[in-house]
């Protein structure tokens, strides 16, 4: 009964549902605008390349990776990795995602603070999400409350990481939308569609952050009750 006895459990289930709705929504929105070719006929890779050059960035490479919606920017190797559909197709959705990832590369090149903080938090966040449950259960099993507290402390790094992800993601999208318009990569109508794709993507990060925060609050409540 220990884990099923409170409203916080129901809230957590609600947040999990919200996260899966957000992830279904990003897929369907991407698919919808992936069927529409952009008027300039630019592929994601070309748009990313163009946006980098316009910003005077020449030390970031663009690579193709497998999977769907696996697109990301890797600050360690200064690489924009674009999934197959984004890399090689000239749709509104592919250009939107490619320019969003380029937005991260520009954040990196210009020393955008939330990105630096987020990158610095990554090792602690990874450790935190792995250490939470073993420490938490060991703490309960052997009645050593300090283990529970250490688990929660570690986990809070991973929550902090997710919270710093939010400004980073919103900022990359707003940079992308502004520049796609400014450089004429997309027309004004196409830019409205791009906003829908990028907003749907941002919502998955909001849902993930809310879920982590909910989990942290629940951990704190459970540990205090003991
Ligand atoms: Zn992003």
Domain boundaries, the chain: 7-225
pLDDT of residue 1: 43
Residue 172 alpha carbon to ligand 1 centre in Å: 6
pLDDT of residue 124: 86
Return the active site residues.
101
Residue 1 alpha carbon to ligand 1 centre in Å: 39
d(CA 183, CA 189): 15
Q: How far is CA 51 from the centre of its chain?
A: 21
**Cβ proximity of 45 and 82 under 8 Å:** yes
Q: What pTM, to 2 d.p., does this model score?
A: 0.89
pLDDT tens for 155-205 read: 899 999 999 999 999 999 999 999 999 999 999 999 999 999 999 999 999
**Cβ proximity of 107 and 167 under 8 Å:** no
Residue 107 alpha carbon to ligand 1 centre in Å: 11
Among 12-21, 51-60, 148-157, the range with the most confident prediction by mean pLDDT is: 51-60
For residue 121, pLDDT beyond 80: yes
d(CA 175, CA 8): 37
Helix axes 92-109, 44-54, angle to 10 degrees: 30
Scanning the structure block, which residue is given the tokens 């990003």? 26
């Amino acid at each position: 009964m220990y884990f099923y006895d409170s409203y916080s459990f129901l809230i957590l289930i609600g947040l999990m549902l919200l996260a899966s709705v957000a992830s279904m929504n990003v897929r369907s929105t991407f698919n919808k605008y992936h069927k529409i070719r952009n008027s300039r006929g630019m592929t994601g890779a070309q748009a990313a390349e163009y946006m980098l050059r316009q910003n005077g960035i020449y030390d970031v490479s663009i690579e193709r990776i497998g999977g769907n919606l696996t697109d990301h920017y890797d600050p360690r190797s200064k690489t924009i990795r674009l999934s197959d559909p984004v890399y090689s197709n000239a749709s509104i959705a592919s250009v939107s995602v490619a320019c969003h990832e380029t937005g991260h590369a520009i954040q990196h090149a210009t020393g955008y603070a939330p990105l630096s903080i987020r990158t610095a938090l990554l090792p602690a966040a990874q450790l935190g999400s792995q250490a939470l449950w073993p420490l938490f259960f060991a703490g309960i099993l052997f009645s050593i409350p300090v283990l529970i507290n250490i688990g929660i402390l570690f986990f809070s790094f991973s929550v902090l990481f997710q919270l710093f992800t939010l400004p980073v993601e919103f900022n990359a999208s707003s940079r992308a939308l502004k520049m796609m318009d400014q450089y004429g990569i997309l027309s004004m109508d196409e830019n409205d569609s791009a906003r829908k794709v990028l907003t749907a993507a941002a919502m998955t990060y909001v849902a993930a952050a809310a879920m982590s925060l909910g989990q942290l609050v629940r951990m704190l409540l459970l540990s205090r009750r003991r």
